[in-house]
A = this chain, B = another copy of it.
């Protein structure tokens, strides 16, 4: 979206890189992030690294324990459920507002994103579906026409990204996910905010529940 923005502060770039590594699972939950190590790897001093880590603390991606360094945040299944519960509500809100405020452009974007999901779904490619699913949800956020809500929803969406990705791959939720999307698009297009909200709420909450089951069964 705003990938074109110039980052004059080094720490911003570093944050994005580290964020990416956490999201893609290269840095696993519980792993320690050594300031000096990262500094030498990225060929900068510890200062920008520290800044990046602090930013990630506020994003919730890492935990910093005073004098004991930073570790990639371990989100407990319980907390993950709580987060999905809030995510569900935010998405529901986006859907409700989208249904009320939908422009022609919004609708075009939404249907286009939905079609793109269909293609990835047919090919059965979880990674590609993941990316297009993301765009689909972003289209709904955007259609809410509430800039602050868009930011909050996007932030939480990203924060849950790693877990959602895992779930799509493992649980093969592609089929149901896609059909749920169809109903959501129709509800929003029809201007039925309450229905859209309810469908989205369920669409998200089920992910949280399934994920909790998955985690519990793997006894992580």
Residues of A that sit less than 8 Å from B by CB: 8-9, 50-51, 54-55, 58-59, 66-67, 79, 82-83, 85-86, 89-90, 93, 146-149, 152
Q: List 13 A-B contacts (CB under 8 A).
A: A8-B66, A50-B51, A51-B51, A54-B54, A54-B55, A79-B147, A83-B148, A85-B148, A85-B149, A86-B93, A86-B148, A86-B152, A89-B89
In the complex, the chain B residue whose C-beta lies closest to that of A83 is: B148
Nearest Cβ in chain B — how far from A12, in angstroms?
Answer: 9
How many copies of the shown chain assemble into the complex? 2
From residue A57, how far is it (CB to closest CB) to chain B in Å?
A: 8
> If A54-B54, A58-B55 touch, does A79 touch B8 (CB 8 Å cutoff)?
no
- Judge whether B82 and A89 touch: CB under 8 Å: no
| Main SS class of interface, A | helix
Instruction: Name the CB-closest residue of B to A145.
Output: B82
Min CB gap A175→B, angstroms: 29
With a CB–CB cut-off of 8 A, which chain B residues contact A54?
A: 51, 54-55
Question: How far, in whole Å, are A93 and B152 apart by their CA atoms in the complex?
Answer: 16
With a cutoff of 8 Å between Cβ atoms, the chain B residues found around residue A67 in the complex are: 8
Q: A89-B89, A93-B89 are in contact. Are A79 and B148 (CB under 8 A)?
A: yes
Q: How distant is A75 from chain B, measured CB to nearest CB, in Å?
A: 10
The residues of B that contact A50 with a CB separation of less than 8 Å are 51
What residues on B are CB-neighbors of A86 within 8 Å?
93, 146, 148-149, 152
Instruction: Tell me if B82 and A146 are in contact (CB < 8 A).
Output: yes
Which among B58, B82, B149 is the interface contact of A149 at CB below 8 angstroms?
A: B82
Cα–Cα distance between A5 and B146 once the two chains are bound (Å): 36
Instruction: Give Cα distance in the complex from A9 to B70, angstroms.
Output: 14
